[in-house]
A and B are shown apart, each in its own frame.
Chain A
Amino acid sequence: MMLLETKGLTRIYGGLRAVDTVDYTLAKGEIHALIGPNGAGKSTFVGMVSGRIPASEGEVWFDGENVTALPAHARIQRGMAYTFQITAIYARLSLFDNVALALGQRDKAKVRAALDRVGLANRMEQIAGDLAYGHQRLLEIAMGVAQTPRLLILDEPTQGLAESEIEEFNTLIRELAGDTTILLIEHNMSVVMALADEITVLETGKILARGTPAEIHANADVQNAYLGTG
């Protein structure tokens, strides 16, 4: 059963086809990684999936429904969650307020539980902007998780995290898998290899390859385009 499907999804910036007729499917419960060199169109692609960026052409289907014409907030209400590549938290509000807005309710126990998943429960009253960068990333992830989405889109979640925090992140994502389908944009290949059930490689707006981590690792095209020959 497919949770997400795109048909001929395209985004044109000026004359450039940043994402070029991408047909993509994502099965329920899977952890799927989207990789590719800078400028390959990964963020634009998930931007169109979540509705942040309007598609120039093509369709987005979510859980059997054509959501192409829906605004972003309506797609989120249908069960998507999106964490930004550049940290987008409420810097002047407390961690409690940040997570409460993600939850949609001001229930202390639930907020604490959500923060506990990323180890920030003891900082609930602190102002989010005062946190170290890595902790801000974790807060953003906690906000995504707190929404209990069916599809969680993570755009470079481990950027700026310490090694130990990456370990915790991997554990958290494995816990979520099964209930939550995860679409992960990630540069850190060890995270991708550790987590992903399947990988799609994007290059210049097109799908270059798709397969299991082992298949992608062995793929000659991918080696040339992205992974290097080492």
Chain B
Amino acid sequence: MSLDTRSVTLHLGLIAALIVLGFVLPTYHQGNLARILVLATYAVGYNVLFGYTGLLSLGHAMFFAAGMYGCGLAMHLGGVTVIPALVIGLICAAALSAVVALLALRTIGVAFMIVTLMFAQSVYLTALYLGEWTGGDEGFVIAQASRQIAGYALTDPLTRYYAALSLFAIALLITARMMQMSFGRVLIGVRENEERTRMLGYDVFRHKLAAVVISGTIAGAAGAGYAVLFGYVGATFASVQYSIFPLLWVLLGGMGTTIGPLVGVAFMFYLIDYASGITNAYMLIAGAVLVLLTLFARAGIVGEIRNRWAPWLP
């Protein structure tokens, strides 16, 4: 099998397996996995920028939140139905990421991290400041009756699971395809050697700009999806914690691998779930496991598998 066929088989196989899982899993895990898939979509978006382009953002929560608030407020205050609300969420995230990119990409390295962090903090504080509409810290709940697409209630666990899976599958397939095309290879070129890439005639700034917008828009799609599927919008999702999460997920799963983000989210979710069943100090167990992983699997779970056994993994 050629590299491209293997990669297509892997991604379609993964999606097929997730479709089957929806039928066989008990409701508890179905709900968990729906949440994991939405958060994995967020991580897939983050991976475009961090894993493939080599730009470390500490402010991605603002894009997640832009999608979430754009979509959630349109439904909550504007009475917009789900599909147009999702589109509004996407537009908000795309617009915010374009503006942030134009300003933040003037910096590199640590300065880029700090600038994105500061932008995200101002988005977070804005969400709190506009509490009259956003509900501030407490957030707001989107009415159950409005959370439906063409008569299918997204509050139903199975429907919600497949809606989450559709969102994730679209993000996964788009990014996987993108990374096989010339555009994606240039992003990797920027990550590996920016000066060389410029001296091959590529407009590095424009490629980085596109990477931020694509990454931010996918993160926003995840935020909008979260609002619609779980019916809650709150400022926590704009906080610095939600900027650190995708970094952790991608590092754990394997940066610059297509399926690493999903593996990272699922691993961390079930690690915390399992540890909290044993002790109240579950973060202690989670922390120890994370330290061990970073010590002994520095490329992340999928990254390590790729390095040791399967160099073809996309």
Residues of A within 8 A of B (CB): 50, 52, 71-74, 76-77, 82, 84, 88-93, 97, 100-102, 104-106, 143, 147
What's the nearest-Cβ distance from chain B to residue A196, in Å?
A: 24
* B279: Cβ under 8 A from any A Cβ: no
The reply to whether A73 and B196 contact each other, CB–CB distance below 8 Å, is no
CB-contact partner of B200 in A52, A74, A92, A102, under 8 A: A102
What's the nearest-Cβ distance from chain A to residue B209, in Å?
A: 14
| Bound complex: CA A125 to CA B195 (Å) | 23
CB-contact partner of A101 in B186, B195, B203, under 8 A: B186
Residues of B within 8 A of A (CB): 182, 185-186, 188-189, 192-193, 195-204
CB neighbours of A102 from chain B (8 A): 200
The reply to whether A106 and B185 contact each other, CB–CB distance below 8 Å, is yes
The reply to whether B201 and A147 contact each other, CB–CB distance below 8 Å, is yes
* New A-B pairs, 10, CB < 8 Å, besides A76-B198, A97-B188: A88-B193, A89-B193, A90-B192, A93-B192, A100-B185, A104-B182, A104-B200, A106-B182, A143-B200, A147-B201
> Which of B185, B200, B203, B204 has most A Cβ within 10 Å?
B200
CB neighbours of B188 from chain A (8 A): 93, 97
What's the nearest-Cβ distance from chain B to residue A78, in Å?
A: 9
5 contacts between A and B (CB under 8 A): A88-B193, A101-B189, A104-B201, A106-B182, A106-B185
The reply to whether B185 and A97 contact each other, CB–CB distance below 8 Å, is yes
| Bound complex: CA A104 to CA B185 (Å) | 10
The reply to whether B182 and A90 contact each other, CB–CB distance below 8 Å, is no
| Bound complex: CA A191 to CA B201 (Å) | 28
- Which residue on chain A has the smallest CB distance to residue B189? A101
The reply to whether B196 and A90 contact each other, CB–CB distance below 8 Å, is yes
The reply to whether A73 and B192 contact each other, CB–CB distance below 8 Å, is no
What's the nearest-Cβ distance from chain A to residue B180, in Å?
A: 8
- Which residue on chain A has the smallest CB distance to residue B197? A101
CB neighbours of A104 from chain B (8 A): 182, 200-201
CB-contact partner of A52 in B182, B193, B199, under 8 A: B199
CB neighbours of B203 from chain A (8 A): 71, 73-74
Please classify the interface of chain B as helix (H, G, I), strand (E, B), loop, or mixed, using the class held by over half of its residues.
helix
What's the nearest-Cβ distance from chain A to residue B36, in Å?
A: 30
CB-contact partner of A90 in B189, B199, B201, B202, under 8 A: B189
- Which residue on chain B has the smallest CB distance to residue A104? B182
The reply to whether B189 and A76 contact each other, CB–CB distance below 8 Å, is no
CB neighbours of A73 from chain B (8 A): 198-199, 201-204
What's the nearest-Cβ distance from chain B to residue A75, in Å?
A: 8
CB neighbours of A52 from chain B (8 A): 195, 199
What's the nearest-Cβ distance from chain B to residue A62, in Å?
A: 13
| Bound complex: CA A29 to CA B196 (Å) | 25
The reply to whether B199 and A50 contact each other, CB–CB distance below 8 Å, is yes
| Bound complex: CA A106 to CA B181 (Å) | 8
What's the nearest-Cβ distance from chain A to residue B292, in Å?
A: 25
CB neighbours of B195 from chain A (8 A): 52, 88
CB neighbours of A74 from chain B (8 A): 203
The reply to whether A82 and B192 contact each other, CB–CB distance below 8 Å, is no
What's the nearest-Cβ distance from chain A to residue B187, in Å?
A: 11
CB neighbours of A91 from chain B (8 A): 192-193
The reply to whether B199 and A105 contact each other, CB–CB distance below 8 Å, is no
What's the nearest-Cβ distance from chain B to residue A224, in Å?
A: 36
The reply to whether B193 and A90 contact each other, CB–CB distance below 8 Å, is yes
The reply to whether A147 and B192 contact each other, CB–CB distance below 8 Å, is no
CB neighbours of B201 from chain A (8 A): 73, 76-77, 104, 147
Rank and list the top 7 A-B pairs by shortest CB-CB distance, nearest first: A76-B201, A90-B192, A88-B196, A77-B201, A82-B199, A101-B189, A73-B203
CB neighbours of B200 from chain A (8 A): 76, 101-102, 104, 143, 147
- Which residue on chain B has the smallest CB distance to residue A76? B201
- Which residue on chain B has the smallest CB distance to residue A105? B182
CB neighbours of A71 from chain B (8 A): 203
CB-contact partner of B199 in A84, A92, A97, A100, under 8 A: A84
The reply to whether A101 and B185 contact each other, CB–CB distance below 8 Å, is yes
| Bound complex: CA A143 to CA B195 (Å) | 14
CB neighbours of B182 from chain A (8 A): 100, 104-106
What's the nearest-Cβ distance from chain B to residue A139, in Å?
A: 12
| Bound complex: CA A88 to CA B189 (Å) | 12
Known contacts A101-B185, A105-B182; decide if A76 and B192 are in contact (CB<8 Å). no
CB neighbours of A89 from chain B (8 A): 193, 196
CB neighbours of A76 from chain B (8 A): 198-201
